[in-house]
Amino acid sequence: MRSLAIYGKGGIGKSTITANISVALAESGYRVLQIGCDPKHDSTRLLLGGFTQSTVLDLLKERSNPPTLGDVILTGYKGIKCIEAGGPEPGVGCAGRGIISMATFLNKSGLDLNDFDFVIYDVLGDVVCGGFGVPMRNEYSNEIYVVSSGELMSLYAANNIAKGIRNFSNPCGKLAGIIGNERGVKGEDQLLEEFAERLGTRLLTIFPRRELFREAELNCMTIMEYAPQSELADQFRKLAELIASGPGTVLPAPLEEDELLELNLVYCDGRSLRRVPRPERTRTMAFEPTPDFSIARPQLKREVRPTHFADRDPLHGCTLGGAHNVTAQLRDCVTVMHSPAGCAYMSIDGLMSVGYRGKLSALPHLLPNLLSTSIGEEHVVFGGEGHLEELIIDAHRRLRPRAIFLITSCPVSIIGDNWDQIVRKLCSGGIKVIPVQSEGVIGGDYQRGMVNAYRAIADEFIDRTVSPQPDRLNLVGERNTSRFADRNFASMKEIFEGLGLRVNCRFVRDTTTEEVRNFLRGEVSVLASKDALCTELRSLLYDGYGAEFLDAAFPVGFHETVEFVTKLGERFGRERAADDLVASAERDYTAAKGSLKRALSGKKVMIFSYTQHLDWLIATLLDLDMQILKLCLYDSCTERNFRSAYKGLVDVESGYPPEKRGQDIIDMKPDLVLTNYIPRELVGDAVYDIIPLSPLNGFYGGLEQARAWAQKMRVRFQEGWREDAELFDLAP
């Protein structure tokens, strides 16, 4: 597949020329897709007999569900496939951003460009903002052709496009030539020749001004269809042949403004030409499909994955924060956020505040390892790539990290910064930059960002040649934002060591790239939870790397932990050690349970929860002879499937509407209400306590929670703190 972009000033005739080239290529047997990237959406009209097709952007705007490929592709003359991007009305919105949205849609739609021999983008060239530059990027086009007449403004636009090509393309450039379209100005042909020569490219052909163009257009046809025997049709055939033969592409040398003016004066007024020596900046290369200059990271094309963990609004967090949650855990790496400073602040503040509350050990390395490009007005207007490049080079020089993760924010995607190119350039210069698929909320929610980061780390560092070593375990998906993270690791480690096992790699928490590299030394991997995130990580590592997983996750509470230790003992042939561990824990658990029962036995409990894995909690309540009145499960953004060994024993209501809670508590009169978030208005006489989203692991996790319930109940009866509301005039 070859991918062409045809640029030119609005009204210069590039859509007519593009449609005719498409037909000429199709006539030679090539499979062609033409994509119109002009808000006027008339690129494909002549291929469709004058029919104006629905545009991608209109369909995206009008429909609540995304359109399908069938909605946006029509088949035109000679079987040419046609797509129109569309765009906003003049004077409103951002047409450039529209091009980015169209490109993202096509990426996600499953369109396989390899089904075509030629994909041709027909792009408006007046406005070379980030969005209009998208078809110039390496992942979209291999060659760029510019349509121009000899008029000053047309040449001016063509020169600007050449500047854009210098910014966007690979080191060898991709300007494939100028296509002349006469307007009848004085000395036009020579002027175009001279212009092309100065750019360092060639003039492929010049189409004369002919009434036939207008006639064909009035009949809603291309010249190729309307007058196939005409000279013009032959000229298009020759041009198509030239294109198909693979013309040389160059890195153009755009003209200075006064140079451009002088050229015009020379040819229009016959003034003498001042030969300005051109800098040696052009380089010709033979055509090769999608030249690859990414030495360290060949695969930079943005992959498409679902953005939400569950398709429920509102979006929970953004991919930027989620990705940083994970990349921050590699002690020998640096994370660069291409973002406003506020995004970096929000992200680090989230990690640090949880860290401080939980007195986590993984904190010290977090701050120096996060840098932000702090993009502002200036970068939005002029592009932030240069600043990003400087920051990464500086971070590489000062901090000497093993790798630099690049996480992008939504503003960067909205303006269409071409950071891919910077990554390629830096990687080819020896700096290891690992882009994590992000784009803020555009890329998805917090957990999607986490998975993207885990994937990037695995792809980059896990060494597939490493062999498993006995008695080594990997830990996968530890909760970095849990205040119990360190305590949980300690209690799990105690169990592993009790069975004579060693932790090989924590994927990914407070670790190094070397430990990740040796991930496959771990004989077995253990998930930190069975939630949706960990389930996806398991697939990632099992499908991608053949990692074996224990059929149990970090346990909470006595009964889960007994099962966990037993399975671990069986897997590693340490049954005796596992039995001893369980027996000793059982003695301690029974003693602790006895004292708590005195305070809690017979108490009535209601549970309101977003988390759906609650067997540890139910088991603890039942162990303490407490009475569960009702288990109310809210719709969760990340989990839907309630699974429980106690399903028949407990009254469960799934999809519970939060507004029912108050009345249910008044009606059912529980002594204790357990919930993920304690509401501001407390109804009834119950004591309220939190169900941690990430509870304490190990034999005693459930009892630790129960200890808090017992304490709260004691405090309430002795002190009557609720009466304090009257002091502050808050009583109803």
Contact 485, 478 (CB under 8 A): yes
Binding region for ligand SF4 (CB under 6 A) out of 259-267, 339-347, 414-422, 646-654:
339-347
Q: Does 410 bind ligand SF4 (CB under 6 A)?
A: yes
Nearer CB in complex with ligand SF4: 298/306: 306
Residue choice 339, 373, 374, 694 for contact with ligand SF4 (CB under 6 A): 339
Closest approach of Cβ 488 to ligand SF4, in Å? 28
- CB-wise, 348 or 434, nearer to ligand SF4? 348
The footprint of ligand SF4 on residues 169-228 (CB under 6 A) is: none
**343 contacts ligand SF4 (rule: CB under 6 A):** yes
Residue 258 is which amino acid?
Answer: D
Query: Exposed/middle/buried for 576, CB within 10 Å: 0-12, 13-18, 19+?
Result: exposed
Is 22 a binder of ligand SF4 (CB under 6 A)? no
Q: Which two tokens stand for residue 67?
A: 């359109």
Count residues near ligand SF4 (CB under 6 A). Answer: 9
Among positions 535-554, residues that touch ligand SF4 (CB under 6 A) are none
Q: Which of 57, 82, 100, 320 binds ligand SF4 (CB under 6 A)?
A: 320
Closest contact distance (angstroms) between CB of 365 and ligand SF4 is: 22
| Cβ burial 666-692 (10 Å sphere, 16+ → b, else e) | eeeebbbbbbeeeeeeeebebbbbebb
**380 binds ligand SF4, rule: CB under 6 A:** no
Min. distance of Cβ 36 from ligand SF4 in angstroms?
A: 30
Q: Which is nearer to ligand SF4, 3 or 437 (CB)?
A: 437
**Phi and psi, residue 271, nearest 5°:** -70, 160
What is the spatial distance between Cα 21 and Cα 10, in angstroms, rounded to a whole number? 18
Q: Could you say which of 131, 384, 440, 555 contacts ligand SF4 (CB under 6 A)? A: 440
**Which conformational region is residue 69 in: left (phi greater than 0), alpha (psi within -120 to 50 degrees), or beta?**
alpha
List the catalytic residue out of 71, 117, 126, 580: 126
Residues 6+ apart with CB under 8 A from 338: 372, 373, 375, 384, 388, 406, 407, 408, 409, 412, 417, 419
Strand blocks (E) in 566-651: 604-609, 627-633
Residue closer to ligand SF4 by CB (options 119, 320) is 320
511 binds ligand SF4 (CB under 6 A): no
- Written as six digits, the tokens of 307 are 């953005």
Cβ at position 12, least distance to ligand SF4 in Å: 38
* Furthest CA-CA distance within the chain: 106
Interatomic CA distance for residues 666 and 649, integer angstroms = 23
Tell me: does residue 35 bind ligand SF4 (CB under 6 A): no
Q: Which is nearer to ligand SF4, 119 or 412 (CB)?
A: 412
Residue 9 designated active-site? yes
- Shortest CB 167 distance to ligand SF4, Å: 24
CA 418 to centroid of chain Cα atoms: 15
Whether 14 sits among the annotated catalytic residues: the reply is: yes
- Nearest to ligand SF4 of 159, 481 (CB atom): 481
441 forms part of the interface with ligand SF4 (CB under 6 A):
yes
Question: Phi/psi class of residue 2: alpha, beta or left (left: φ > 0; alpha: ψ in -120 to 50)?
Answer: beta
Residue 374: CB minimum distance to ligand SF4, A:
12
In the complex with ligand SF4, which residue's Cβ is closer, 255 or 415? Answer: 415
**Read out DSSP for 330-345?**
BTTEEEEEES-HHHHH
In the residue annotation, 238 being an active-site residue is answered as no
**Could you tell me the smallest distance in angstroms from the CB atom of residue 342 to ligand SF4?**
7
Closest CA to 635 of 168, 311, 320, 213: 311
Rounded to 10 degrees, the C-alpha dihedral 333/508/498/705 comes to 120
Query: C-beta of 380: minimal distance to ligand SF4 in Å?
Result: 12
Other residues' Cβ atoms within 10 Å of the Cβ of residue 143: 22
Residues lying near ligand SF4 in the complex (CB under 6 A): 318, 320, 339, 343, 346, 409-410, 440-441
| Residues annotated catalytic, as ranges | 9, 14, 40, 126
